């Protein structure tokens, strides 16, 4: 990590605040025995809550490493999951095949929500026109909204996901934020969109708080000795999973946005976050990371092919895309939102303490 994260700070030894947070967050589970005991308690609770129901938990699946390994893990732990997938129109063929192979091998039922493409496309274009680095916010927001919806539909209390400290510890908020904030999405769509939001799956002000503090969200990989390289070997050998080349590259749009738009327009390379997390986890060396960063995020010819595909799928002209790329950079705080004003409030710590008393 470096000063392309404008909020970064370093101590006297040159260690950044992201690495300090990694150590602090991991101190919740000082050893494997503590992790095992905590996990056993969670699994026992989930099984008891789900007794007599068709499913005892909901899991999200994308075709990526983390969600695929979560599917494998919950079955190994004896849970009865329902897999949920959001089809937002950008799935790569490989991601679809990975999901199919995984769920067939594990005998897991799948609930797929196919988003209204014309409405969703308009929202994604609005975010590009808003000129913030947050164009993945609509997809992430919809995914969590559908997970909430499906858990209610099937009366399942717990949603298990692949978010984890070991490989996803470094987050530069200025590079992307507002994922739970429907007020942010609604404000940008109202200003830049051509269609009203009618079917887009969304939360509200209170679901922001639920996402932050509710016990229903289980980050299960934090309770095991999760190693991404080992996880890949297992899912390749046992589930027929195939690698797609980069973190979140199972989505064509995510690959293009992270690998082309973010570096060129904003100067943000998310590989710095991903590699820094792996370095802290002992899965990568700093020299290996710097070597990777000296190369393009993915082959430039492939970037050009993806660029033409994205422009065609959005039904815009190449010159309009270039105009969007040249717009001055903006941020989450430049637009209306539910949560933005609280983030800058001096009363935020007090507000959070009150919230925790009411949400479980």
Q: What ranges make up the beta strands (E) of 141-284? A: 159-161, 217-219
pLDDT above 70 for 54: yes
pLDDT of residue 99: 95
Longest dimension (CA), the chain: 58
Provide mean pLDDT across the span 88-117: 95
Confidence of residue 243 (pLDDT cuts 50, 70, 90): confident
pLDDT of residue 31: 81
10 in a domain, yes or no?
no
Provide mean pLDDT across the span 150-177: 92
Q: What are 24-49's pLDDT values in tens digits?
A: 888 877 688 889 999 999 999 999 99
125 in a domain, yes or no?
yes
Q: What are 5-17's pLDDT values in tens digits?
A: 999 999 999 999 9
Q: What share of the chain is helix, strand, coil (3-state, %, to 5)?
A: 55, 10, 35
- Two tokens, residue 208: 């922001």
299 in a domain, yes or no?
no
Pick 318 or 216 by higher pLDDT: 318
9 in a domain, yes or no?
no
pLDDT of residue 236: 96
Cα distance between residue 191 and residue 126, in whole Å: 8
Question: What total number of domains does the chain contain?
Answer: 1
pLDDT of residue 92: 86
Confidence of residue 356 (pLDDT cuts 50, 70, 90): low
154 in a domain, yes or no?
yes
Confidence of residue 209 (pLDDT cuts 50, 70, 90): confident
pLDDT above 90 for 109: yes
Confidence of residue 77 (pLDDT cuts 50, 70, 90): very high
pLDDT above 70 for 260: yes
Most confidently modeled range among 89-103, 116-130, 212-226: 116-130
> Are residues 65 and 40 in contact, defined by beta-carbon separation less than 8 angstroms?
no
End-to-end CA distance of the chain: 34
Confidence of residue 350 (pLDDT cuts 50, 70, 90): low
| CATH number of residue 92's parent domain | 3.40.50.620
305 in a domain, yes or no?
no
pLDDT of residue 342: 65
Of 76-90, 252-266, 290-304, 330-344, minimum mean pLDDT range: 330-344
**What's the chain's average pLDDT?**
91
pLDDT of residue 28: 79
Q: Give 3: exposed, middle or buried? Use CB within 10 Å, 0-12, 13-18, 19+.
A: exposed
147 in a domain, yes or no?
yes
> Are residues 225 and 35 in contact, defined by beta-carbon separation less than 8 angstroms?
yes
Calculate the alpha carbon distances from 10 to 24, 173, 281 in Å: 16, 16, 19
Provide mean pLDDT across the span 181-189: 96
pLDDT of residue 348: 59
Q: What are 307-331's pLDDT values in tens digits?
A: 999 999 999 999 999 999 999 999 9
Cα distance between residue 112 and residue 114, in whole Å: 6
260 in a domain, yes or no?
no
DSSP 198: S
Closest C-alpha to 125, from 177, 196, 188:
188
- Domain extent at residue 128: 17-247+332-358
pLDDT above 70 for 142: yes
The pTM for the full model equals 0.90
Q: What ranges make up the beta strands (E) of the chain? A: 57-60, 81-87, 109-114, 159-161, 217-219
Name every residue whose Cβ is closer than 8 Å to that of residue 116 and which is 6 or more positions away in sequence.
198, 199, 200
Hey, is 16 helix, strand or coil?
strand
pLDDT above 80 for 214: no
Pick 28 or 162 by higher pLDDT: 162
Cα distance between residue 187 and residue 144, in whole Å: 19
> Are residues 71 and 103 in contact, defined by beta-carbon separation less than 8 angstroms?
yes
pLDDT above 70 for 343: no
């Amino acid at each position: 990590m470096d000063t392309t994260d404008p909020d970064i700070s370093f101590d006297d030894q040159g260690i950044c605040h992201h690495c300090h947070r990694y150590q602090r967050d991991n101190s919740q589970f000082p050893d494997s025995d503590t992790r095992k005991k905590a996990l056993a308690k969670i699994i026992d609770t989930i099984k008891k809550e789900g007794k007599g129901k068709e499913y005892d938990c909901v899991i999200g699946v994308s075709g990526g490493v983390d969600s695929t390994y979560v599917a494998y893990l919950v079955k190994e732990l004896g849970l009865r999951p329902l897999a949920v997938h959001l089809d937002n129109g950008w799935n790569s063929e490989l991601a679809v095949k990975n999901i199919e192979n995984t769920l067939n091998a594990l005998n897991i039922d799948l609930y797929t929500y196919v988003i209204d493409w014309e409405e969703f496309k308009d929202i994604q274009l609005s975010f590009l026109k808003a000129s913030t680095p947050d164009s993945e916010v609509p997809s992430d927001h919809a995914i969590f909204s559908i997970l909430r919806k499906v858990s209610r539909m099937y009366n399942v209390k717990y949603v298990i996901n692949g978010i984890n400290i070991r490989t996803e510890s470094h987050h530069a908020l200025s590079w992307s934020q507002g994922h739970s904030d429907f007020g942010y999405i609604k404000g940008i769509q109202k200003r830049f969109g051509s269609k009203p939001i009618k079917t887009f799956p969304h939360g509200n002000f209170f679901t922001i708080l639920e996402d932050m503090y509710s016990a229903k969200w289980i980050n299960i990989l934090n309770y095991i000795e999760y190693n991404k390289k080992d996880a890949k070997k297992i899912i390749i050998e046992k589930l027929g999973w195939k690698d797609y080349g980069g973190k979140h590259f199972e989505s064509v749009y995510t690959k293009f946005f992270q690998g082309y738009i973010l570096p060129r327009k904003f100067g943000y390379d998310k590989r710095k976050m991903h590699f820094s997390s792996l370095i802290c986890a002992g899965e990568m060396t700093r020299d290996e990371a710097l070597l990777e960063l000296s190369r393009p995020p993915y082959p430039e010819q492939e970037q050009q092919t993806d660029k033409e595909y994205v422009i065609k799928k959005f039904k815009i002209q190449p010159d309009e895309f270039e105009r969007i790329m040249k717009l001055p950079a903006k941020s989450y705080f430049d637009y209306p939102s539910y949560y933005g004003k609280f983030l800058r409030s001096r009363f935020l710590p007090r507000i959070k303490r009150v919230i925790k008393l009411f949400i479980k």
